[in-house]
Amino acid sequence: MDTQAISKPVRFIKGGAVHTLVQLAPTRTLLEVLREDLHCTGTKEGCGEGDCGACTVVVGELRGGKLHTQAVNSCIKLAHSMDGMALWTVEDLAAPDGNLHPAQTALAQCHGSQCGFCTPGFVMSLAALSEQHPKRAISREVASNALSGNLCRCTGYRPILDAAQAMAQLPRQPLDTPQVRSGLRALAQVAQAEAAALAPVKPAPKRAPKPQMGAYAAPTDLATLLALRHAYPQAQLVAGCTDVGLWITKQDRDFAQVLDVTRVEALRQIDDYPHHIAIGAAVNLTDAFAALVAQRPQLQSFAQRFAGLPVRNAGTLGGNVANGSPIGDSMPLLIALGANVVLASHSGYREMPIEDLYLAYRTTALRPDEVLGWIKVPKPLPAPKGRSKANRSSGELCRVYKISKRFEDDISAVCLALNVRLEGGHVVSASIGAGGVAATPVRARATQAALVGQAWAEATVRSAMAALRAEFAPISDMRASGAYRSEVLGNLLWRFWLESQGTPRTDLQALAALDLEGAQP
């Protein structure tokens, strides 16, 4: 089948106009379309793999009638995924009378542009930040987080951070306008009308025919997604495309058909239950981590160590889990929290502990007709009330540590997540997940066994450290040697013990919190 020939048109709003692109190959990136088809060359290509931020754009969609905007990397975003959305590039920020956007004015006034090549990306991250903080002043920490996906190789971060904070003093120029919102509603109506025109008029026969799928499908309901997954198991499943995008841009891989899960309403929700939350697989990492942090605030700094903001905005928790990389960061944490995954297919659902999803290096238990549906994460048990000695030595201790060469936007050499429950100074349960130490994300069962039933004391921790160092045989690669990985695993458990005893944190996050003048983000 010539799938290119039945590619649906892609419509999005940019610069106040609707753009319609036809016959787009499913693997064309938004950056390619911007630069080659629309000739919007303000958006730059630096790395082509989500690392440098030169290609950052702002995308917007209606959520519950409100415009939600966020910065993403256009180099690894598939152009088809823009259908029905709003887009801003650096060309779209100035007002029709030529007045610059506050992000542009502030960057110029603070001398935040040196090379100029990375500047459009910084401007777009700042524009998204300004949109999200319309009234409030922007702290250094918030600015740093907003710019965590933008690299400046000439070390000019201080004036760029100054610019982020200076925007608050300038007149606003919102991206969210009634015109954009009504344009998006009109696009949604067109999409609905098209879907209705394709729907069968007669009642469906008992044996449903094979559903039709073009080059790129982004169904909005789960039943259609599962029917397409069943009928077209060879179609490449994508979510935020922050892993798959690199297979296209760096490995030159091509896919005749792409099945996008990110529009399925049921997979975009986070549901609250009495004892757990269920995070839909298509929830982006920004929102998924916010939900985990709401349950356990101590996870905040770890959440910001995952990639940079544009990757967290585009990438999903489901994509991280399903990709199954041994150095993926959310899995050690989810293992430690005792999370389950729910897999869905046209014939039903099955649920399993997340560690059982991983069978071998990048091999999961997902069948060709299945998708990852939800990640169910138990809530913390309530902390004991009162300050008695017994209560002070009871409760949940939960931490996750990521060791990487660079603080932001880097992949783990080792990741260790621990969730230990104490009662009266004794370990009643221990749940430990590790990454970077085996062919898959793993549960540290021997170490857990060394802790459970023991007094939470230095001697117990020392013997658990030995168990942890012996439990895995990590490989040596460009990120770290096997010996380093084993050593650091034990050291992280020691840090966990020290922190449980009230020793202040001595890691890079704590140094960053000092907000040293001129510190780089």
Ligand X SMILES: Cc1cc2nc3c(=O)[nH]c(=O)nc-3n(C[C@H](O)[C@H](O)[C@H](O)COP(=O)(O)OP(=O)(O)OC[C@H]3O[C@@H](n4cnc5c(N)ncnc54)[C@H](O)[C@@H]3O)c2cc1C
**Interface with ligand FES (CB under 6 A):** 45-48, 50-55, 73, 75, 113-115, 117-118, 152-154, 156
**Coil/strand/helix, residue 394:** coil
Rounded Cα distance, 495 and 304, in Å = 20
CB 199, min distance to ligand X, A: 25
Q: Which of 7, 56, 249, 320 binds ligand X (CB under 6 A)?
A: 320
Nearer to ligand X, 48 or 490 (CB): 48
Nearer to ligand X, 172 or 362 (CB): 362
Residue 422 CA from chain centroid, whole number? 32
Nearer to ligand FES, 119 or 394 (CB): 119
Rounded Cα distance, 243 and 320, in Å = 8
Nearer to ligand FES, 397 or 519 (CB): 519
CB atoms within 10 A of CB 473: 10
Residue 54 contact, options ligand X, ligand FES, none, Cβ 5-8 Å cut-off depending on partner type: ligand FES
Nearer to ligand X, 167 or 246 (CB): 246
CB contact set of 275 (below 8 Å; sequence gap of 6+): 378, 379
Among the residues of 342-443, which ranges form H helices?
389-392
Of 352, 155, 149, 175, nearest to 242 by C-alpha is: 149
CB 313, min distance to ligand X, A: 10
Residue 328 contact, options ligand X, ligand FES, none, Cβ 5-8 Å cut-off depending on partner type: ligand X
CB 52, min distance to ligand FES, A: 3
72 binds ligand X (CB under 6 A): no
408 binds ligand X (CB under 6 A): no
Nearer to ligand FES, 46 or 490 (CB): 46
Residue 153 contact, options ligand FES, ligand X, none, Cβ 5-8 Å cut-off depending on partner type: ligand FES
Residue 7 contact, options ligand X, ligand FES, none, Cβ 5-8 Å cut-off depending on partner type: none
CB 14, min distance to ligand FES, A: 18
Tokens standing for 167? 């925007």
Backbone φ and ψ of 191, nearest 5°: -65, -40
311 binds ligand X (CB under 6 A): yes
Rounded Cα distance, 345 and 207, in Å = 17
Count of residues in the chain: 521
* DSSP code, position 306: S
Applying CB under 6 A, the span of 4-12, 154-162, 171-179, 319-327 interacting with ligand X comes to 319-327
Residue with tokens 């981590």: 289
Q: What does R_g of the chain's alpha carbons equal in angstroms? A: 24
Query: CB–CB of 271/281 below 8 Å?
Result: no
CB 148, min distance to ligand FES, A: 12
Nearer to ligand X, 372 or 465 (CB): 372
**For ligand X, which residue has the nearest CB?**
319
Query: CB–CB of 126/146 below 8 Å?
Result: yes
Residue 26 CA from chain centroid, whole number? 22
CB 160, min distance to ligand FES, A: 8
Distances from the Cα of 388 to the Cα of 384, 393, 394, 429, angstroms: 10, 9, 10, 21
Q: Which of 72, 129, 138, 237 binds ligand X (CB under 6 A)?
A: 237
Q: Which of 90, 129, 163, 241 binds ligand X (CB under 6 A)?
A: 241
CB 255, min distance to ligand X, A: 10
Q: Percentage helix, strand, coil, to 5, in the chain?
A: 35, 20, 40
CB contact set of 213 (below 8 Å; sequence gap of 6+): 228, 231, 232, 235, 257, 259
CB 46, min distance to ligand X, A: 11
CB contact set of 492 (below 8 Å; sequence gap of 6+): 401, 403, 414, 416
Applying CB under 6 A, the span of 36-44, 311-319, 470-478, 501-509 interacting with ligand X comes to 311-319
For 31-52, give the DSSP string: HHIIIIIS--TTS--SSSSSSS
Residue 344 contact, options ligand FES, ligand X, none, Cβ 5-8 Å cut-off depending on partner type: none
Distances from the Cα of 78 to the Cα of 75, 255, 260, 414, 419, angstroms: 8, 12, 10, 31, 38
CB 197, min distance to ligand X, A: 28
Nearer to ligand X, 118 or 366 (CB): 366
Site string for ligand X, 40-69 (x = CB under 6 A): ---------xxx------------------
For 153-176, give the DSSP string: TT--HHHHHHHHHHGGGSPP--S-
Query: CB–CB of 128/120 below 8 Å?
Result: no
Nearer to ligand X, 10 or 464 (CB): 10
Nearer to ligand FES, 55 or 331 (CB): 55
Nearer to ligand FES, 242 or 394 (CB): 242
Query: CB–CB of 431/333 below 8 Å?
Result: no
Nearer to ligand X, 175 or 264 (CB): 264
Site string for ligand X, 205-234 (x = CB under 6 A): ------------------------------
26 binds ligand X (CB under 6 A): no
CB 339, min distance to ligand X, A: 15
Rounded Cα distance, 75 and 84, in Å = 19
Please report, as ranges, the residues that interact with ligand X according to CB under 6 A. 49-51, 237-244, 246, 261, 281, 285, 306-307, 311, 315-316, 318-320, 322-323, 328-329, 366, 371-372, 409, 411
